[in-house]
Chain A
Amino acid sequence: MNLTNAILQLVVMALVTYLVRMLPMTLFTKKITSRFLRSFLYYVPYAVLGAMTFPAIFFSAGGIISGLVGTVVALVLAFCRKSLLTVAVCACAAVFVTNLLLTLL
């Protein structure tokens, strides 16, 4: 691997990622009047995060069983309105313990 090439790739990566975020925010400065469009934009983050989480979360723990246990723990804690940190850390802990138990069995 050539480091100069890697640096150029980094520039491409950073530039594209920034433009994708920056252009819609700077080119579009007015309030949207369309009720449909406003509703659509309100729902987008929930759709994106839902699609990003499932099914990827099941495979994020190095094993499907520990992935399922971690998912259930995260779902229950999130349902109880626990903080981002609590949910994330407890899901990790659940995965860690499950993996540990599985190796002992």
Chain B
Amino acid sequence: MVQNSFSRGVRDGVPIALGYVSVSFTFGMMAVAQGLPVWFAVAVSMTNLTSAGQFAGLSLIVSGASFLEMALTQLTINLRYALMSLSLTQKLDSSVTLADRFWISFGNTDEIFAVASGQPGAVGKKYFLGLMSMPYLGWALGTLLGAAAGNVLPASVRSALGIAIYGMFLAIIIPVAREKKPVLFVVILATALSCAFYWIPGLNRVSSGFVIIICALVAAGLAAWRFPVQDELHREAQPTDAPSSEEEARS
């Protein structure tokens, strides 16, 4: 089964876009507060399309860091995208060409990746284009709004917006962890490791970008060793997947 409907992609992208507006709003607000022009903040969002990387990049620009430091920081924080891009290669429908991969990879964010890889079968380029369109606009528009009008909001509202992106992450991982024990194992292990790197003296000197990479390698590696996934062809051949059997149970 190939998911390749543009309109379905757009629909699936709307919730991501709305979440992005709140996070990029904060980014735009911060960029302008640090003395950068509005157009610059929007240009960063439109060319980078990444949350953690942009926030880190902003503080490096303001502090006058070297180009090498900028490159290494971005490489570390965003290295998880390399794993996600690699993972997505296994998800793309065979009609996706090499040329398509140049733009598909640009839209590979945490949330877009999670929704695309959550599809039951392969994913086509039309679906992916639809899926990335709304989040891209939301990310750019939110940055513009935050940069142009962020200071209008009271501080209480601004600080409440910070949790939005994590709420979104939880909405992606918890429903799957609830159904699949190995995913629950991965989430708990990665969370425990990440907390250890934050609180244990010595370990907490490791930079946040590296912490994410270490957690991903250890948790996903252990799970892959202990709970190897079913063969994809075998899984697709079976008509009754988990959701449909659940519907049967309800009716």
Contacts and interface: CB of A to CB of B under 8 A. Distances in A.
B47 A10 contact: yes
B220 A87 contact: no
Interface in B193-223: 193-195, 198-199, 211-212, 215-216, 218-221, 223
Interface in A37-87: 37-57, 60-62, 66-67, 70-71, 74-75, 77-79, 81-87
Contacts, number: 317
A13 B70 contact: yes
Nearest to A46: B186
Contacts of A21: 78, 81-82, 84-85, 105-106, 108
Given A13-B57, A20-B74, A88-B164, 5 more contacts: A45-B87, A84-B172, A88-B168, A95-B160, A99-B156
Interface in A1-57: 1, 3, 5-10, 12-14, 16-18, 20-26, 28-29, 31-32, 35-57
Nearest to B114: A45
A14 B48 contact: yes
A88 to B, nearest CB: 4
Interface centre among A28, A62, A88, A99 (most CB of B within 10 A): A88
Contact of A20 (B78, B104, B211): B78
B104 A13 contact: no
What interface size band does chain B fall in?
35 or more
B162 A60 contact: yes
A38 B84 contact: no
Given A46-B190, A75-B170, A84 B75 contact: no
Interface residues of A, number: 77
B60 interface: yes
10 cross-chain pairs, A with B, having the tightest CB-CB distances, nearest first: A62-B159, A91-B167, A39-B224, A78-B174, A51-B215, A43-B220, A50-B190, A41-B87, A96-B160, A40-B224
Contacts of A5: 61, 64
A71 B133 CA distance: 29
A42 B215 CA distance: 15
B194 A50 contact: yes
A41 B90 contact: yes
A7 B61 CA distance: 9
B167 A88 contact: yes
B232 A38 contact: yes
A93 B160 contact: yes
B87 A96 contact: no
B186 to A, nearest CB: 5
Interface in B25-44: 35-37, 40, 43-44
Contact of A56 (B61, B110, B166): B166
B53 A46 contact: no
A89 to B, nearest CB: 8
B15 interface: yes
B212 A74 contact: no
B117 A45 contact: yes
Given A8-B67, A47-B215, A47-B219, A60 B166 contact: yes
B219 to A, nearest CB: 4
A40 B79 CA distance: 16
B64 A1 contact: yes
Contacts of A18: 105-106
